[in-house]
């Protein structure tokens, strides 16, 4: 590689600073969005892994009950007697007032080394930990929240996630009232356990191998897949920009390539120089992209953390740490992306015979064959999407359908637009109009990448917007039904709760206990709620399917209601018998919608709940009160019971909180939507700029025939707007298709609930206005350049010197 | 110096292979200038491209300064063009992103023969002193061709190949450019092979070779 030849090659960019900025920004934007999203995912996953490592000890092999129930202490004793190096763990939810703790009881004397948390250690700490009064080891935040609310001493550990606590197994057994049964058995590292040997001792136990994905990681997979899909979409749109910019730069330098080769630069050397040049640019813009990605991730992380907490109850820190692997992966993705976007252009250079005269606009020319091939691939992808909808299932299939749909329509767009423009041009009689449409059609190959990017961004916006708005409308309606009680009150302890139960009747219209226990149903841990026999439920509760007398069956103790997640996830049906813990057998009487809850849920009659689960915590109540008396009842509760204001929540406040959680949840999606649209706007700008650089020979003859430069500029403006409008119109059905896939396939697979799709044309108009603004901004410079072209510049087209 | 013998070249076309050169024998001595003339399609440019190592012949040999350059690979042909040959095109083929001074020194630097004194003399002789910081797009056709000549001669190749170097210029400018080219190649003792349609220009060179139907007829 020659230094002087390389200098000649890159001197091109000195003369084209805007084009250079486009290329650098294209790669940087693509890298930023991709690495930003990856950083968020990596941070969240690292957090799950940390939590799983500490709380679930998932780095160790474990023995768990096959049916999801509990392990009798006798089984543990037998295993120990037979020489099995296992240690018992009890896990369950423990309530302290309004705080829900994930309590984990371990036996520090038999626990494998290194699996405990830091303050246990040896000596005095250990003695305190296993003492009768015991200790709770919690995170600093949880310690602050529990201060003065528990009568057990608290020890603080930084390695624990919030709302979790470690205790000695005897303390956990007492607090969770497990009466000697354990949740799982942890196997010492290095001990091999055979399934056959285990089956011989207790066939009810099964082996959970070390390193299995934590539950929360599995649950949140769909959320992260969603983010990745957005990041990937932006990355692809960014690559369109790179493709346009490198394509133009190679096109503009064709003559230079020929000259370089004529003066003795070999083809190999030329291509090596071009690859080196692009590698340098990719590295530089990759660095910018990674830094921008870090800031993007930092800005979005609190929203993501909030979403994960709201949707899945996953505790993720709201901050992002700059990790070395980011740099490597960010730069790698910048290089790979640039290589992908420029491969075709390089191939053209490699194949370009030295004697072929430098042809202007070869880049902007796309053969009819290529357009047709693209359309065939697009149609094939749409067919594949249709087949997958019919026969496929699963989250990956859902996202594949989404990808096929988006890419298929994007690939078809240029051909369809070209066809339509051809028809309009043929039908136009007036010469200028005919020229306008024919010329617009001529620009299609050069603009196709930008239009495809715009279509992807707009349809993603419409699709995701429709999904979120449908979700919002349904969620708010559902919230109105679910939060029917006017006041919600939480007692501080069982004595206070008992007083409340005696005091409330007669002062309110109805008392609706909100009592629940955690239990294993169909192999999974879920909440079992009890409902009172009250008209509120019959009138308000959102039942999706059920028997005619669903509430009678539930309150009589014969039937149970299950939530949609459990119904779909376990493929249950109304009328099916359902075995609940403690020997309670019921029949599924109905299914209710339960948006925002990641886990399954069962509702039985309140009396049945009390009978079969006498240990149920009876602290929370919904109160039906005449709205006029709401304030009076609240004041009475405060004065009679000395309840703090935080223990009494009115319906409006609860709805406000729920709505806030909802809006926060979709804040990240909204931000990514806007960013994708911004990248697409930039792709449009880049393509228009590129085109304006090669448009001169096409426009000069029309100018020579009597059109003013101003007219040409207006025509350019109108042309871009026409193409933009056509793309926007095409994006609407595609966006709705996208929303349909999201609502009927992906949401059901990911969350277990299905939402009715609703249409929001006003949202489209708002999006259209924003996109139109972006289009106008993107065309400002190219059109201004055209309007201010000097006649001398136009004349050069007719001079041989050109 | 340049010895071409039995040179044959054909191209594929829709009607089948077209034989452009049919066994050309040709010789060019150091310091000699030869005009290559003939009708369009007679094979003039093809001969020039083959001599310049831009293309490969089907048969025959090309020998420059005693070295056979007929069957060089891509890398060797690039070296041949870099160190042995200088080419001047009808379309000038300047590098648009480099200014005049950089364009002129470009080939010489690439060949490792940059001679600032020689370049200064060339710039002076070509009348480009006031244009050194300009870019190609800011020059007239005649000025651009003078820069192209300067670029070629600055590299001091032993063989200069010019493909209708005045084809894009008006008569007066063309004459002026040719005068300069002849003066400089002769003073540097370089061999010049120039393709031209113009008999008037061809007559001003040492010798004239006429191609017709892929053969030398005079």
- Say what the ipTM of the complex is: 0.72
Question: Which DSSP string corresponds to B8-66?
Answer: EEEE--TTS-EEEEEEEEEEE-TT-EEEEEESTTSSHHHHHHHHTTSS--SEEEEEETT
Q: Which domain holds residue B110?
A: 29-50+72-216
Contacts of A696 in chain B (CB under 8 A): none
Question: Which member of B82, B89, B168 has the closest CB to residue A264?
Answer: B82
Please judge whether A265 and B75 are an interchain contact, meaning their C-beta atoms are less than 8 angstroms apart.
no
Query: Distance (Å, rounded) from C-alpha A449 to C-alpha A464?
Result: 22
Q: What is the pLDDT of residue A362?
A: 46
Question: Which member of A4, A13, A355 has the closest CB to residue B54?
Answer: A355
Q: What is the pLDDT of residue A51?
A: 64
Query: Distance (Å, rounded) from C-alpha A387 to C-alpha A403?
Result: 14
Q: What is the mean pLDDT of residues A371-382?
A: 89
In this predicted model, what pLDDT tens digit does every residue of A652-699 receive, in sequence order?
777 777 777 667 667 777 777 777 777 777 777 777 776 676 677 777
Query: Distance (Å, rounded) from C-alpha A227 to C-alpha A224?
Result: 5
Q: What is the mean pLDDT of residues B142-153?
A: 89
Closest C-alpha among A452, A482, A512, A544 to residue A731: A452
Question: Which member of A2, A268, A357 has the closest CB to residue B75?
Answer: A268
Tokens 């009819």 -> residue: A368
Question: Which member of A13, A15, A259 has the closest CB to residue B93?
Answer: A259
Q: What is the pLDDT of residue A361?
A: 42
Return the percentage of chain A with pLDDT > 90, whole number: 6
Contacts of A12 in chain B (CB under 8 A): 96-97
Q: What is the pLDDT of residue B21?
A: 92
State the average pLDDT for chain A.
79
Contacts of A799 in chain B (CB under 8 A): 141
Q: What is the pLDDT of residue A392?
A: 79
Q: How does residue A62 score in pLDDT terms, banded at 50, 70 and 90? A: confident
Residue to substitute from A264, A270, A354, interface B, most B β-carbons within 10 A: A264
Q: Say if CB A513 and CB A530 are below 8 A apart.
A: yes
Question: Which member of A262, A265, A269 has the closest CB to residue B54?
Answer: A262
Contacts of B98 in chain A (CB under 8 A): 8, 11
Summary count for chain A: helices (H), strands (E): 27, 19
Residue A798 has pLDDT above 60, yes or no: no
Q: What is the mean pLDDT of residues B70-82?
A: 86
Q: What is the mean pLDDT of residues B22-51?
A: 90
* CA of B166 vs chain A CAs: smallest distance (Å): 12
Please judge whether A263 and B110 are an interchain contact, meaning their C-beta atoms are less than 8 angstroms apart.
yes
Contacts of A15 in chain B (CB under 8 A): 96-97, 135
User: Structural domain boundaries of chain A?
Assistant: 1-54+224-363, 60-210, 367-375+410-478+660-802, 487-624
More confident residue, B211 or A751: B211
* CA of A263 vs chain B CAs: smallest distance (Å): 5
Is residue B18 one of the residues assigned to a domain? no
Question: Which member of B52, B79, B93 has the closest CB to residue A258?
Answer: B93
Query: Distance (Å, rounded) from C-alpha B38 to C-alpha B15?
Result: 23
Query: Distance (Å, rounded) from C-alpha A120 to C-alpha A167?
Result: 10
Please judge whether A266 and B49 are an interchain contact, meaning their C-beta atoms are less than 8 angstroms apart.
no
Residue A744 has pLDDT above 90, yes or no: no
Return the percentage of chain A with pLDDT > 70, whole number: 85
* CA of A259 vs chain B CAs: smallest distance (Å): 6
In this predicted model, what pLDDT tens digit does every residue of A403-446 receive, in sequence order?
899 889 999 998 899 889 888 888 887 777 888 888 888 777 77
A68 — phi, psi (to 5°)? 80, 5
Residue B67 has pLDDT above 80, yes or no: yes
A421: left (phi over 0), alpha (psi -120 to 50) or beta: alpha
Alpha helices of A556-629 — where are they, by DSSP H? 564-569, 606-612
Q: What is the pLDDT of residue A53?
A: 59
Query: Distance (Å, rounded) from C-alpha B67 to C-alpha A133?
Result: 100
Is residue B6 one of the residues assigned to a domain? no
CA distances from A502 to A126, A312, A495, A507, B127 (A): 44, 36, 11, 10, 111
In this predicted model, what pLDDT tens digit does every residue of A532-560 receive, in sequence order?
888 888 887 778 888 888 888 888 888 99
Q: How does residue B129 score in pLDDT terms, banded at 50, 70 and 90? A: very high
Please judge whether B96 and A259 are an interchain contact, meaning their C-beta atoms are less than 8 angstroms apart.
no
In this predicted model, what pLDDT tens digit does every residue of A71-109 receive, in sequence order?
888 888 888 887 788 888 888 878 777 677 778 888 887
Q: Say if CB A519 and CB A528 are below 8 A apart.
A: yes
Is residue B5 one of the residues assigned to a domain? no
Please judge whether A266 and B168 are an interchain contact, meaning their C-beta atoms are less than 8 angstroms apart.
no
Q: Say if CB A679 and CB A28 are below 8 A apart.
A: no
Question: Which member of B49, B77, B110 has the closest CB to residue A2?
Answer: B110
Contacts of A261 in chain B (CB under 8 A): 78, 81
Number of neighbouring beta carbons within 10 Å of residue A246: 25
Using an 8 Å CB-CB cutoff, list residues of chain A that contact chain B: 2, 4-5, 8, 11-15, 255-256, 258-269, 354-355, 357, 799-801
CATH of the domain at B39: 3.40.50.300
Is residue B193 one of the residues assigned to a domain? yes
* CA of A711 vs chain B CAs: smallest distance (Å): 27
Q: Tokens at residue A100, please?
A: 């829900």
Query: Distance (Å, rounded) from C-alpha A774 to C-alpha A768?
Result: 10
* CA of B52 vs chain A CAs: smallest distance (Å): 8
């Amino acid at each position: 590689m020659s230094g002087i030849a390389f200098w000649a090659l890159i001197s091109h960019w000195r003369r084209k600073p805007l084009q250079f900025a486009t290329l650098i920004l294209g790669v940087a934007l693509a890298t930023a969005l991709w690495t930003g999203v990856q950083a968020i995912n990596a941070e969240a996953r690292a957090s799950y892994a940390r939590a799983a490592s500490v709380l679930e000890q998932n780095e160790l092999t474990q023995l768990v009950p096959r049916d999801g129930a509990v392990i009798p202490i006798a089984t543990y004793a037998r295993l120990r007697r037979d020489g099995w190096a296992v240690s018992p763990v009890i896990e369950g939810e423990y309530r302290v007032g309004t705080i829900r703790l994930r309590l984990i009881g371990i036996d520090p004397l038999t626990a494998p080394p290194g699996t405990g948390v830091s303050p246990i250690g040896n000596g005095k700490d250990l003695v305190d930990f296993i003492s009768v009064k015991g200790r709770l080891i919690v995170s600093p935040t949880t310690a602050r929240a529990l201060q003065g609310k528990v009568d057990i001493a608290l020890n603080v550990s930084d390695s624990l996630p919030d709302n979790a606590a470690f205790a000695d197994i005897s303390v956990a057994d007492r607090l969770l009232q497990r009466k000697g049964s354990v949740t799982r058995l942890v196997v010492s590292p290095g001990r091999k356990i055979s399934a056959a040997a285990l089956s011989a001792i207790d066939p009810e136990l099964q082996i959970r191998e070390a390193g299995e994905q934590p539950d929360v990681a599995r649950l949140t997979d769909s959320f992260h897949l969603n983010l990745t899909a957005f990041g990937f979409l932006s990355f692809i749109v960014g690559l369109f920009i790179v493709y346009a910019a490198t394509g133009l730069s190679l096109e503009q330098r064709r003559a230079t390539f020929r000259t370089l080769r004529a003066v003795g630069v070999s083809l190999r050397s030329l291509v090596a120089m071009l690859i080196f040049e692009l590698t340098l640019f990719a590295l530089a813009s990759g660095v910018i992209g990674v830094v921008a990605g870090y800031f993007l991730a930092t800005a979005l992380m609190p929203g993501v953390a909030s979403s994960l907490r709201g949707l899945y109850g996953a505790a993720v820190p709201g901050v992002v740490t700059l990790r070395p692997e980011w740099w490597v992966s960010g730069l790698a993705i910048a290089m790979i992306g640039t290589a992908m976007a420029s491969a075709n252009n390089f191939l053209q250079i490699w194949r370009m015979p030295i004697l072929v005269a430098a042809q202007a606009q070869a880049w902007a020319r796309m053969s009819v064959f290529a357009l047709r091939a693209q359309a065939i691939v697009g149609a094939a992808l749409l067919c594949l999407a249709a087949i997958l909808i019919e026969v496929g299932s699963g989250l990956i299939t859902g996202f594949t359908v989404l990808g096929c749909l988006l890419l298929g329509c994007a690939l078809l767009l240029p051909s369809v637009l070209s066809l339509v423009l051809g028809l309009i041009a043929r039908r136009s009689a007036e010469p200028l109009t005919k020229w306008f449409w024919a010329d617009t059609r001529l620009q299609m190959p050069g603009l196709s990448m930008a239009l495809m990017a715009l279509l992807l961004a707009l349809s993603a916006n419409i699709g995701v917007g429709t999904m979120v708005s449908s979700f919002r409308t349904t969620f708010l309606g559902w919230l109105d039904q679910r939060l029917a009680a006017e006041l919600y009150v939480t007692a501080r302890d069982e004595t206070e709760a008992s007083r409340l139960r005696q005091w409330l009747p007669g002062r309110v219209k109805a008392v609706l206990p909100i009592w629940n226990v955690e239990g294993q149903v169909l192999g999974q841990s879920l909440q079992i709620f009890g409902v009172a026999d009250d008209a509120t439920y019959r009138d308000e509760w959102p039942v999706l399917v059920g028997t005619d007398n669903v509430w009678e069956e539930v309150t009589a103790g014969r039937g149970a209601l299950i939530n949609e997640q459990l119904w779909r996830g376990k493929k249950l049906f109304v009328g099916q018998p359902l075995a609940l813990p403690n020997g309670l057998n019921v029949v599924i009487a109905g299914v209710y919608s339960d948006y925002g809850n990641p886990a399954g849920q069962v509702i039985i009659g309140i009396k049945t709940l009390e009978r079969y689960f006498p240990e149920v915590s009876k602290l929370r109540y919904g109160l039906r009160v005449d709205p006029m008396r709401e304030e009076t009842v609240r004041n009475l509760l405060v004065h009679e019971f000395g309840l703090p204001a935080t223990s009494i929540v009115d319906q409006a406040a609860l709805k406000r909180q729920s709505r806030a959680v909802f809006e926060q949840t979709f804040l990240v999606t909204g931000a990514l939507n806007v960013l994708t649209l911004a990248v697409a706007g930039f792709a449009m700008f880049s393509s228009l700029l590129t085109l304006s650089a090669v448009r001169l020979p096409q426009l000069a003859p029309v100018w020579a025939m009597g059109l003013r430069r101003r007219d040409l500029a207006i025509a350019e403006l109108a042309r871009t707007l026409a193409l933009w409008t056509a793309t926007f119109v095409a994006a609407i059905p595609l966006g709705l298709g996208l929303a349909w896939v999201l609502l009927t396939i992906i949401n059901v697979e990911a969350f277990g609930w299905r939402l009715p799709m609703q249409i929001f044309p006003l949202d489209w108009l708002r999006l259209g206005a924003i996109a139109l603004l972006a289009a106008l901004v993107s065309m400002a410079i190219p059109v201004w350049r055209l309007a201010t072209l000097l006649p001398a510049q136009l004349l050069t087209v007719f001079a041989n010197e050109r | 110096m340049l010895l071409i013998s039995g040179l044959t070249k054909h191209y594929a076309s829709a009607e089948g292979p077209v034989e452009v050169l049919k066994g050309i024998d040709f010789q060019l001595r150091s310091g000699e200038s030869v005009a290559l003339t003939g009708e369009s399609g007679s094979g003039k440019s093809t001969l020039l491209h083959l001599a310049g190592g831009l293309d490969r012949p089907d048969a025959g040999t090309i020998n420059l300064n005693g070295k056979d350059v007929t069957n060089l690979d891509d890398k060797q042909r690039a070296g041949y063009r870099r160190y042995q040959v200088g080419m001047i095109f009808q379309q000038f083929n300047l590098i648009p992103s480099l200014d005049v001074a950089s364009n002129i020194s470009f080939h010489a630097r690439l060949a490792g023969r940059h001679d600032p004194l020689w370049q200064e003399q060339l710039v002076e002789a070509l009348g480009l002193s006031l244009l050194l910081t300009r870019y190609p797009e800011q020059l007239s056709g005649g000025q651009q061709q003078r820069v192209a000549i300067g670029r070629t001669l600055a590299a001091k190749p032993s063989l200069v190949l010019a493909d209708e170097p005045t084809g894009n210029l008006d008569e007066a400018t063309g004459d002026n450019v040719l005068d300069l080219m002849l003066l400089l190649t002769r003073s540097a003792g370089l061999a010049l092979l120039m393709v031209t349609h113009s008999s008037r220009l061809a007559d001003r060179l040492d010798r004239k070779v006429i191609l017709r139907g892929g053969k030398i007829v005079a």
